[in-house]
Structure 1
Amino acid sequence: MTDLHARTSDDHGAESYDQRLAAEAAVEPDPVVASEVKKETQIIAIYGKGGIGKSFTLSNLSYMMAQQGKKVLLIGCDPKSDTTSLLFGGKSCPTIIETSTKKKLAGEEVEIGDVCFVRDGVYAMELGGPEVGRGCGGRGIIHGFELLEKLGFHEWDFDYVLLDFLGDVVCGGFGLPIARDMCQKVIVVGSNDLQSLYVANNVCSAVEYFRKLGGNVGVAGMVINKDDQTGEAQAFAQSVGIPVLAAIPAHDDIRKKSANYQIIGTPGSEWAPLFEELAENVAEAPPVHPTPLDNDGLLGLFDGDVTGRNVVLTPATPAAMRGKSFTPKASLEVVYDEA
């Protein structure tokens, strides 16, 4: 890149520093890849509000897929590094970023066995993130995928690669699969609450934004977790034009087993039909164009007593802001007499 400080403007018409800055700022970023998706591997990014149950859903989904004979890779892309904890019975596996740092300090190369672990046919790993207050989580995601590429990510042979992303963070790193066509489709996990549907709506908005730039990624559908039958998540999916892939009930047995790091999506179990259907729907659901809602449309899914949308915005006044000490001041505007 040209050193912008190497030259200064002169009286002979040389390009000024400000002009060079403006010219550089005007350069458009590389366009989103618009070529047809030809990979046999289905790479699916799953987004949702923090704590909504993505890790629970993905651990059970990936386990069921593996029991059905599919080769599955689960990658946790949340800085909390908790995607695989349920799969491994509460145990935390070393993250890619953490392992890379330690290996680099020791002058060693990262091997796949250092960061990827297997349970009953499910391959799983965590990208990880920086320590609290010591870096950007989104940048950590980008760095993690750079390391995956060095480990041969594009040469791996899987039927499904499931990426678990935090949906309520809007920086570029977390939008990487959508922005760069790294996945074929997106699935959103939500519940019958405004905040999780707000996040799901934002993800739909991001998908549509990058599709307008030439991207190929679409939304395959929604998983409703902790479904209490109030219907808001179902109404949201219908409003934005995406299917519901599964509705996981708000059941005490599910809650207790999940809290104890137990997989419930096992063949022959009480909940097996639920995850068998989810696995089938995830495999077959095509990516579609969602129609994101505006804020009023999103609030309209809920009763006004729940969201408080009947509140009227009352403008503040200078007198109220300053209290008793407020004294109106004469205008400094100069008023000229008419000539």
Structure 2
Amino acid sequence: DAPVTALPTKTTQIIAIYGKGGIGKSFTLANLSYMMAQQGKKVLLIGCDPKSDTTSLLFGGRACPTILETSSRKKLAGEDVKIGDVCFKRDGVFAMELGGPEVGRGCGGRGIIHGFELIEKLGFHDWGFDYVLLDFLGDVVCGGFGLPIARDMCQKVIIVGSNDLQSLYVANNVCSAVEYFRKLGGNVGVAGIVINKDDGTGEAQAFADAVGIPVLSSIPA
């Protein structure tokens, strides 16, 4: 439980999902967001990976225009970004992609910070969502990717991992970041881990037991 000392003021549950590239975060989030929407919840899915592939499963393989590229195009044209330019809906799920710079042409973390600043200007906290799901790369340690944990922008973190060293290394990094910021007074907690492509070796389960987090779901290989 988070070390909260006052009554909560937010009704929207903001959950950040972390894991190494290719581990199945987008797969997990597409299914989770769709399931929540089918249960009558108002859900916003935000892709925070520079690859901008979080929402493509929901949109039949098509990528949503990203906030960064739309913002740059509108700025050149002297126009303001409107919510309909960057937020899209399908099967009850609202979806956005922050995007990122081209390879070698900028910092992905800075892109994320700029993207969040823009959606806050658009009134992000007044949209009345039940859940906001954030898809983050976990194997990049720069400050931009740790933003939700460092700035208390989410309440919980869910890790997606599997029974391999790389994904568990990333999972441990995320748990360490959460612990570090909690010592500084942060309120973000780790909700647990989703084991994807579970081959039955039990390594991810052993990791979860060692760091004291629950296994939320185990998806067979």
TM-score (norm 1): 0.63
Provide, for residues 200-252 of structure 1, a one-character-per-residue CA deviation record: whole Å limited to 9, x for no partner: 000000000000000000100000001111110111111100101101111xx
Instruction: Select the structure that is richer in strand.
Output: 2
- How many residue pairs match? The answer is 218
After superposition, what is the alpha-carbon deviation per residue over 1:184-204, rounded to whole angstroms, capped at 9, x for unaligned? 010000000000000000000
What whole-Å deviation, never above 9, does each CA across 1:259-308 have from its counterpart, x for those lacking one?
xxxxxxxxxxxxxxxxxxxxxxxxxxxxxxxxxxxxxxxxxxxxxxxxxx
SS in 2 for 1:73: strand
Q: Which runs of 5+ in 2 are unaligned?
A: none
Match of 1:152 in 2: 123
What code does the residue aligned with 1:205 have? S
Q: Check 1:34–1:154 CA distance in 2 against 1; reply closer, same or farther (3 A cut).
A: farther
> Which residue number corresponds to residue 176 of structure 1?
147
- Considering only CA atoms, is the larger Rg found in Structure 1 or Structure 2? 1
Counterpart CA distance in 2 for 1:228 and 1:67 is: 30
Partner of residue 196, structure 2: 225
- The residue aligned with 2:176 is 205
Does residue 99 of structure 2 align to residue 134 of structure 1? no
Q: Counterparts of 1:228 and 1:234 in 2: how far apart (Å)?
A: 11
2:96 alignment partner, SS class: strand
Identity of aligned residues (%): 88
AA in 2 matched with 1:48: G
Change (3 A) 1:179 1:194: same
Alignment check: 8 A CA contact 1:34 1:214 kept: no
Offset at residue 112 of structure 1 (A): 0.7
Structure with the larger RCO, 1 or 2 (CA within 8 Å, 6+ apart): 2
Pairing 1:113–2:113 present? no
- Residue 138 to residue 35, structure 1, CA distance change in 2 (3 Å): farther
Counterparts in 2 of 1:90 and 1:34: CA distance versus 1, 3 Å: farther
CA–CA distance in structure 2, aligned partners of residues 41 and 93 of structure 1: 24
Q: What does residue 66 of structure 1 align with?
A: 37
Alignment of 1:145-294 (within 5 A): 145-250=116-221
Q: Is the 8 A contact 1:50 1:168 kept in 2?
A: yes
Q: Give the superposition deviation at 1:35.
A: 6.0
What amino acid is the match of 1:123?
Answer: F
2:17 aligns with: 46
